[in-house]
Structure formats: C-alpha cells, structure tokens
Structure 1
Amino acid sequence: MKVLTWLFATCALSVGVVARNALPDLYEASIVELQAGLDAGDFTSVDLVKAYFARIAEVNLKGPQLRAILENNPSALTEAAALDQERKKSGKRSALHGIPVLLKDNIATVASEGMNTTAGSFSLLKSVVPDDAGVVKRLRAAGAIILGKANLSEFAHFRGNLASGWSGRGGQCTNAYFPHADPCGSSSGSGVASSIGLTAVSLGTETDGSITCPSSNNNLAGIKPTVGLTSRAGVIPISEHQDTVGPITRSIADAAVVLSIIAGPDPNDNFTLAQPTPVPDFTKALNKNALKGKRIGVPRRVFLNDTITGNDPFVNQVFEQALDTIRALGATVVDPADLPSADEIAVSGNETTVLDVDFKIQLDAWYASLKSNPSGVRSLADLIAFNDANPALEEPPRFEDQSEHRLIESEATTGMNATYFQALAFNKDLGRTRGIDAALQQFKLDALVLPAPGFTTVPAAIAGYPIVTVPLGFYPDNVTIALAGPETVYPAPGVPFGLSFLGTAFSEFDLVGFAFAYEQKTQTRLARKAFAEAIPTTQLIDIIGK
C-alpha cells in the first residue's frame, strides 16, 4: 500500500512538472504561445483571466505594491467564457481571440461593463462615457478580452510637475526592475503590467514619450504609431495633433499583432481617414533580415541637446554597441545624420503652446460629452477647483503649487488664435519638413535610430511621426541612484532602457521590421528579470481545473 501511495504521488508530481513546463510561462508568454494552448485545449480564456487576476493580486497592492492596475474588469470572466464557447463552436475571430488586453485608464469602456474611465482622476470616477473608444471596438470585434484598466500619470502627465506614474486614484506606480524605480509615464501601469506578465498585452497612449518611455524603462517593445493610424475617439485627450494609441508588449511580434487589429480608419476620428489603405498586416514585417541593405541614420544633435538624461555616458556606451549590431545585420549606419532643425527644437516652446490650447478645448469637450458625472466637474476650470477642494484625493506626497501648473496654463489660453496656428505650423516645420523628413531625404535613409530615453521623442511628437522601441540594456549594479520624484528613483541598478527606431509618416511596417531584426539578434529582454519580490508566482497550472 505504501508503495502504491508513493507511486501515485510520484506520478502526480511528474505530471505536474510536465504540465507546468508544457504550459507557457506567463512572465514571457507570447500571443502565439497562448493561442496554441487555447487551440489545443490545454487551458481556456477563463483560466487565463483567472491567472492574470491572481498575478495582479500578488504584486499590485501587496508585496512590492507596484500599483500598476487601477481596476479589474468585473465582466472579464463572463466575456472569456463566451469566447471559449465561440472558439469551440466556430473557431477564432483573430489572433487576439480570447486574449486578455489591459487598457490605460484614459481609453473609454462603456460603464455597463463595470469599469471606470478616469485618466486617474477622482473628478471622473463613476462618470458615464457615451461609448467604447474606437480601439476598444476593434479589440472586441477581434475577440479580445478587456482585462482591466491600468494606472497612469494622471491626465496623461498633463497636470504639471508630478512624478511619472502617479495618479490620485492609483497612487504611485513603480517599476518592477528595482524597488520604487521610475516606471516612466504616462502609460506607466501599462508598461509595468506587461513587463512581468500581469496581462498578455497592453495599450498605452503617447503625446510625447508616453509609450516610448514606459517601454524603455520596463524592458518592453512599444509602438507609438503615426498620428491618425489608430483612432483617438473615446480617449481622454491632450491634443488631437499629437495623441496616438499603441501597443506595449513583451515582443515586437506581439506588438505587430495588436497594431494590425487596432489600426485603421474610424469615422469618429477624422485624422484616421487620411491614412493609407488598406491597413498593413504588420506581422508580415517580422523579418530577421529586415536591416540588410538599409541605411540607418544617427541624429546625434538630438541627444547632444538632451537635458533630460544628460546624455548619459553608460546609455551612450551601450548605444554604440547597438550600432555595431545594426551594422552586423547588414545595414549601413550613417553617423551623424542630424536633423537640420535639432537645435531649434531644443529651445522651441511651440509644443507647449499647442498642447495648452488643445487640452483646454478638448478636455472641456470630453466633460461635456459625458452622459453623467457625479463629481459635477464639467470643464477644465471645474477640474482645477475640484483638485483644490479635494487635496486628500488629488494632491500627491510633497505637493507643490507647480504640480498643477499645466492645468492652470491651459485654462488661461483663449482658443485657436493666430499665435496657436503659427506654433502649430512651426511644429510641423521643425518636426517634419526641416526635421525627420529632411534628415531621411538628405542622407537617403530608411530610418533613424537613437537611445529611447530623453529628448528622442520630441521631434516625432511634434511631427506626429512613429517610433518603435525595443530593449537596449540595463543600468549596471553600481550606478548612482538618483531621485526621480518624491517616491521614485532613476537611474537605479538593473533598470532597463530602450532603443528607438524613428521614421516618416506611416512607416510603421518598415520600423517594425528593423526593430524585430535587432530584437531577435540581441534578445536583450531575456538578459535580466524584475527583482524577485515583483515577479508573480501564479501560473496556469495553479488555475486549471480549480
């Protein structure tokens, strides 16, 4: 009897080990791996949602308290069950069928589903939006499951001098690669959640740096699309001239899948009606030889002007190694290949002028569009008054008056006057005509490449042009730790940083190929994991059948 008991126990242990090894590790699991398991019946989308919820519970408000997630979707399990049945009955709708997707909390979802859309602000808690965001409609049509809402820098970091990743509703989101490290904003929660497998994939938004920087700081692949490739309808705005929605994932392959689904025209966002058609299948850009025979330029004046990172010597050292890799992959590196406008961009205040005007107009329109809003806030002026009246909710640790200055500056604007239109035109001239396009044409380039941290994002932001970011390296263990905010540090040991490929309008297909070739050659993401306490232990084997 004892022998039989031992035998059954040993067999059960062996089966458990095999099953755990056979199932995808949720820390790294790709869309392809998850779909293969779903198709084979190894697990269900219900299992997936339960596993991600369990992983979130381990590290979001407990343990390292990463504060990456604002709320889970209470309808996710019901939606997953329906999609599991549909898979059995008629097959998959798309590569995202039954795959959980986390949304930044400025991307609207209908209130009847049970989630809020607040941009992290209590002024929008329990508000009722008129409809799903355009990108959410595309995700749902593809069979994706909305897992929940991610924390963010409140109002996409447009309140003022607040730490990246802080919102009134969510508190301070922090990086999983070093305790209390800067996650970078404003899509901070989306980045942190994707980095350690709290979700299959996530969406972020960028006005200037808010997909690129969280991807960089969290060892991820991110695509900031051309303005107008993905719909902004139903996204709490900063500026229609710079805002864009894109994927933040663990691999370029996953990002390509997501972008292929969320890109495309939307009658509710007229910027999208000018994009080339049809929408490419970006997964067809995943070519390890994509850099062969290409000309890649290094606009060194951009990061020599960088006052944000101080032109970090260690980042530059690793960047030089990246250029050698790009050469080894068959590309000609043109160095330098400067933007003629680089020095002017560094001192121009035109971006601020445009964003301040746009934010007031478009945020007022957002509040006016709501079916209801219990806070009573119906305008930017009301928002400023609400924040002042609710310091316990809306003032972070060591709050200072300048922490609200962007809202106050924006409220003081008087609309789209001659100064505004002149600034808008100058942005396009600096970013496009005498910026990225000028460098591409002058040096006969296929793309530009730069370290992701810092000033890299500005030319593309004011141009409305795309950036694709991949992991580049990690700060060394002996790096001097510096304060990044009242509760965050940067740089810090082991904190990642990325490499960015930039191009002209709607050049995402080529940029995805270049980033994929670099990613596959280097496999940088796999070189280092998050700190131990920040890595959830729940795996599918812990959920299946329970």
Structure 2
Amino acid sequence: MGTFSRRKYLAAGLAAAVAVGSLTPAVASTGARGDAAPAGLFEHATVVDLQTAMHARLLSSEQATRGYLHRIDQLNPILNAVVRVNPDAVTMARRSDAHRRAHGARGPLEGIPVLLKENMNTADRQATTAGSKALLAAKPAEDAFLVARLRAAGAVILGKANLSEWSNFRGSNLPDGWSAIGGQTHNPYVLDRSPSGSSSGSAASAAAGLAAVAIGTDTDGSVVYPASATSTVGIRPTLGLVSRGGIVPITSRHDTPGPIARTVTDAALTLWAIQGVDPADPATAAAAGALPSDPRAVLNRDALRGKRIGLWRAGHTGVDADVDRVFDGAVRRLRDMGATVVEGADVPDIQDVTTAHTLPAVLTEFKHDLNAYLAATPGRHPKDLRELIEYHERHPDGFDHLLFDMADKTDGDLTAPAYRAHREAATGAARRAIDDLLGRHRLDAIVTPTSLPAPVIGHERDSAPFAKSTTHSTTGGYPHITVPAGYSANGLPLGLSFIGTRFSDARLLGFAYAFEQATNARRTPRYLPTTR
C-alpha cells in the first residue's frame, strides 16, 4: 500500500475507532499477560497521519485528544508514565478545531496532543514540580518558552509526563524514572525493566502512544537514553537551539529540551515548532537560522549516500552480544545505503576531564541556576537550595540528596576564576574530542550504539562496562540523535546514535531519517511483565 493510501486508510480507521470507542483494547489483568498488548490505532498514528485525518475532516483534534486521554486511562496504571492530564486539554482541542475551520492549520502541530516532561512551566492549572513534593505549591507565572511556542503552533498540551525526580540530579540511589510525585515509570516493552532517565515518562508515553509526541530535557543523556530504551527517536539538539526558559534547571551549560517521538519525521516537526530565539535565554541568539525553514528539506531517504560515517566502537562493542549484533547489522545497512563507513573513529576518552572539571562546574551551575529558578517562581516552596535540602531532611523518603549537598558546598558564583577554568576545560575538551575526530577522518557524522538493553529497575548503575555515549555531546553542547536500530534476544530495544558538531542538527536528522526508512526497525511495545 502506498504512503498516501496508507495515511488515508489509517485516517479513516482513526475516525471509526473514535466513533465506536475502541481506541485501546484493555491489557488483560492489567498487564499480567504478555500476549495482551494493546493494538489501538493511536499506537501507530503519526503526526502526519493525524494531520491527514483532520485535514480531510475525518477526525477532529477534540476526538484525537479524547482518544489519547482514553489510552492514558487504560495504560497509565501499568506504566506510571503520565503524572497528570491537563484539565484544559479538550478545550484547547476545540479551539484548535475552530481555528482550523476558520483559518486553516497554523502548522504541522495544529491540534496535535503533546505531553511535556514535568519540569516545564505551564501557566495553567497544571503543577510544575520536577517530580518533587517540595514544589507542589509552586505557581509558575508564565509558560516556558517552548510551551508558548507549542501553543502558538496550535498544539494541544495533553498533560505532563513523569521523570526521574529533579531530573536525576538529587542523589546517588534513586532508580531511573522514579519521582515522589509520579512513582516508578515502567518500560512499555518489559514492565520490570528500566525506562532509563530522566525523561522516562516522556519516552514511555511516546512509545506506548499515550500522545502523538512528547518533550523531554537532556543534561547528560536524559533524552537519548530513554529513547533508546523504549525504541523511540530522541533528539538532543545543539545547545541553544531550543530555549531553556521556564524549565527547572540543572545547568544552563548542558540542559536542552528535545522531542521524543515514534518517527524521525514526528520528532523533526516538533523540533521545528519549539526552536526559536528567546530574549531571556542568550544561548538561543547564536542558533538563529541554524535550521532550514522547512524540516521536510532535510528528510531525505538518500541523505547517507556518499557520506563518510565514522564508527565509534571503543567502550561500546565487545560488551554485550546483542548490542554487537545490532550494531554490526546497522553498519552493513549504512554501507548498503551508499555511506562510506570509517573504522577507528573512536571518540577519545575524557573521563579525567569529567572528574576534574565537569562535575565541579556543574555543581556550581546547579546551585546558581536552581537558586535563580526558585527565587523567581511564585508560591510557597523552598526558595533556594539550602531550603530544599532542609525540606528533604524533614521529609525523608529513603533516598539521599548527595548531589544537593555537594552543590550547596560551592559558592554558586559563575564569575569566579576557578569556576570559569573548570567550565572552559570541560567544554573545550569535549568539543575538541569530537571536532578533531571529524576533521582528521573527514567525517560527516559519528555513529555508535546508544546504550545497553534496559536493565531491571533499580539496577541501572550495574552497566559500568559500557562507556557513556553522551558525555562529549552534552558537555560540548553538540547534537545527538538516537533512532531505533533493533532488539536484544529477549525483545529489549536498542538504539543507534548519530553524533556531530555544533549546529549539525539538520544533517544528523537527515541521516537518522534515511536509516529509519531503510530499516523500519521499530516494533510496538508488548507490555511483558518480565523476561526472567
């Protein structure tokens, strides 16, 4: 069936499913049977499918929004991926439908339901807590910049997704995907497996079709690792391409929001909608014009033909047989697509720099940035890091706050010579490691396995033999995209990473799209209770 015919067929099916209320077959015994995976049409519908259906008047945004809300009702009890739904979502959808009737669609996200990671401010009836009960009474005065961009694009803010509390920058013993507000998020492929962190709820929601797309944030792999673990596409854009304004911070020198979706196209359409220059975030000024005006210009099936792609194996292969098998298969496919693959393109290890410079810099930035966010946020809540530590000491939950304590010992001064030396050393080493490699081998991009198969929840830190694939891009502020590449023998997703230099986002998206279209590697979740 051709692409257009498939979309028309799926559009009609979506409308029929909404009409009869059969969007999500129940999961037998709330997930106790692994063979009872939901097969609702919304699990497969892309943004383009939804737009086709709405443009043809076969589906309204209100119907789509109600359909996703129904999926959340059915599946969230076993996933804990969504913290809360937006009480104004249906109203937003109706307004989108009215705008479409009167003026047409404002863009490709018109009427599309989107979930936000629960660290993004919304000036509505939804709380923004970063997963912590300490911020339950916080009252953000305005939307985060990217949320305002979504509203302007006509998107429907469906609700907020669970996360690792404080975006995994609280202590040493929190499991990935756990927060005091949302509990433990589960991986939709195998429910006792980690969804990774910290954008766990965003990735699990996208994988399970609880929204058309979701937004996460990435400080050191918090978009790409959950996306890899849930067979979704995750984009960590170049630092500054998307504003951090109105988002609970870790560090402005690493943090960036990014989309998580089931397809590269959906992720790209979302990235284009949320990017833009924010006067309140100086890093965005340099990103003006970094993307072409139309994302479709970079989504080319032949994007890899004639390109030189470096293979980063050191620390990533020879650790897990399934990872090796899937990566070797991906390399063969890259060759088949006309790419020249270059062996020996291993990004140098900068662990000594990370220990000596990156962590001290990030601890100082965390204290400075979080204090500024808390001080500027109305409501009754801790007003700085010291008060936040005192809150956790008064309300123990069995998890430590080691990183809070370490950050509080810094002066939080971003003008101090010692801090500036740490930051310049860390960022410089990370950028040189990537740029020198790209230049020496005349590479267009680097590919590597994103991570190991998801471990059992609570055992995330047992995978030390696999070197992190994100340290260089996150410390350097460079783009990193993961795309589904295959599965382990027991059905756990594995991703392939495309890494490049600053503002190479459009080029990497083209490569990821070409790989996705050639492989069609993604399978829908099975909601298995365990593989043990």
The interval holding the TM-score normalised by the smaller chain is: 0.7 to 0.9
Contact 2:241–2:287 under 8 Å retained in 1: yes
Partners of 2:14 and 2:249 lie apart in 1 by 48
Partners of 2:382 and 2:250 lie apart in 1 by 17
Distance change (3 Å), C-alpha of 1:89 and 1:325: same
* Partner in structure 2 of residue 491 of structure 1: none
Q: More displaced, 287-296 or 51-60?
A: 51-60
* Partner in structure 2 of residue 52 of structure 1: 68
1:372 to 374, 379, 401: 379
1:80 maps onto 2:93 in alignment:
yes
Distance change (3 Å), C-alpha of 1:144 and 1:385: same
Task: Say which one has the larger Rg.
Answer: 1
1:293 to 272, 281, 306: 306
Contact 1:450–1:456 under 8 Å retained in 2: yes
What letter is aligned with 2:133? F
Partners of 2:154 and 2:251 lie apart in 1 by 30
Shift of 1:346: 7.6
Once the two structures are superposed, the pairs formed by residues 379-398 of structure 1 within 5 Å of their partners are 379-391=384-396, 395=397
1:471 maps onto 2:484 in alignment:
yes
Shift of 1:344: 4.7
Shift of 1:264: 1.6
Shift of 1:425: 1.0
What letter is aligned with 1:328? D
1:332 maps onto 2:340 in alignment:
yes
Partners of 1:347 and 1:190 lie apart in 2 by 28
Contact 1:301–1:343 under 8 Å retained in 2: no
Partners of 2:354 and 2:217 lie apart in 1 by 25
* Partner in structure 1 of residue 444 of structure 2: 446
1:530 maps onto 2:526 in alignment:
yes
Local SS of the residue matching 1:303:
coil
CA displacement 1:426-462 (0-9 Å, x = unmatched): 11222112x1101000000000001011510111011
Distance change (3 Å), C-alpha of 1:16 and 1:287: closer
Distance change (3 Å), C-alpha of 1:312 and 1:278: closer
* Partner in structure 2 of residue 515 of structure 1: 512
Contact 1:191–1:214 under 8 Å retained in 2: yes
* Partner in structure 1 of residue 144 of structure 2: 133
Distance change (3 Å), C-alpha of 1:72 and 1:17: closer
TM-score, length-normalised on structure 2?
0.87
Partners of 1:516 and 1:386 lie apart in 2 by 46
Q: More displaced, 312-321 or 22-31?
A: 22-31
Local SS of the residue matching 2:83:
strand
Partners of 2:210 and 2:95 lie apart in 1 by 22
Partners of 1:497 and 1:349 lie apart in 2 by 31
1:269 maps onto 2:281 in alignment:
yes
Distance change (3 Å), C-alpha of 1:294 and 1:198: same
Partners of 2:116 and 2:18 lie apart in 1 by 29
Once the two structures are superposed, the pairs formed by residues 163-242 of structure 1 within 5 Å of their partners are 163-242=175-254
Local SS of the residue matching 1:427:
helix
Contact 1:120–1:168 under 8 Å retained in 2: yes
Once the two structures are superposed, the pairs formed by residues 345-356 of structure 1 within 5 Å of their partners are 348-356=355-363
Shift of 1:409: 0.6
Contact 2:199–2:226 under 8 Å retained in 1: yes
Local SS of the residue matching 2:121:
coil
* Partner in structure 2 of residue 105 of structure 1: 118
Shift of 1:473: 1.6
Structure 1 gap ranges (5+): 1-14, 305-309, 478-493, 535-546
CA displacement 1:43-99 (0-9 Å, x = unmatched): 2111111111111111212xxx21100100001111111111111111101100000
Distance change (3 Å), C-alpha of 1:343 and 1:413: closer
Shift of 1:39: 1.3
Contact 2:309–2:445 under 8 Å retained in 1: yes
Aligned residues: 481
Contact 1:431–1:462 under 8 Å retained in 2: yes
Partners of 1:333 and 1:16 lie apart in 2 by 42
Local SS of the residue matching 1:524:
coil
Local SS of the residue matching 1:58:
helix
Once the two structures are superposed, the pairs formed by residues 112-151 of structure 1 within 5 Å of their partners are 113-151=124-162
Q: State percent identity of aligned pairs.
A: 40
Local SS of the residue matching 2:276:
coil
Partners of 2:492 and 2:307 lie apart in 1 by 31
Shift of 1:279: 3.6
* Partner in structure 1 of residue 502 of structure 2: 505
Partners of 2:356 and 2:63 lie apart in 1 by 50
Contact 1:165–1:189 under 8 Å retained in 2: yes
Partners of 1:348 and 1:16 lie apart in 2 by 54
CA displacement 1:210-267 (0-9 Å, x = unmatched): 0000110000011100001000000100010000011000000001100111112110
Shift of 1:180: 1.7
Distance change (3 Å), C-alpha of 1:18 and 1:227: closer
Partners of 2:184 and 2:351 lie apart in 1 by 35
Distance change (3 Å), C-alpha of 1:316 and 1:342: same
Following TM superposition, where does structure 1 have runs of at least 4 consecutive aligned residues deviating by more than 4 angstroms?
15-18, 20-24, 343-347
1:37 maps onto 2:53 in alignment:
yes
Contact 2:167–2:197 under 8 Å retained in 1: yes
Contact 2:140–2:377 under 8 Å retained in 1: yes
Partners of 2:45 and 2:255 lie apart in 1 by 29
Shift of 1:355: 1.3
* Partner in structure 2 of residue 251 of structure 1: 263
1:429 maps onto 2:443 in alignment:
no
Shift of 1:179: 1.9
Partners of 1:462 and 1:230 lie apart in 2 by 16
Partners of 2:143 and 2:435 lie apart in 1 by 35
Partners of 1:525 and 1:17 lie apart in 2 by 21
Local SS of the residue matching 1:448:
strand
Contact 2:132–2:181 under 8 Å retained in 1: yes
Shift of 1:193: 0.4
What letter is aligned with 1:171? G
What letter is aligned with 1:499? L
Shift of 1:317: 2.2
Structure 2 gap ranges (5+): 1-11, 24-39, 452-466
Partners of 1:66 and 1:242 lie apart in 2 by 29
Contact 1:176–1:218 under 8 Å retained in 2: yes
Partners of 1:138 and 1:208 lie apart in 2 by 24
Partners of 1:178 and 1:277 lie apart in 2 by 41
CA displacement 1:355-400 (0-9 Å, x = unmatched): 1111111111111001222xx3111111111112112xxx2xxx35
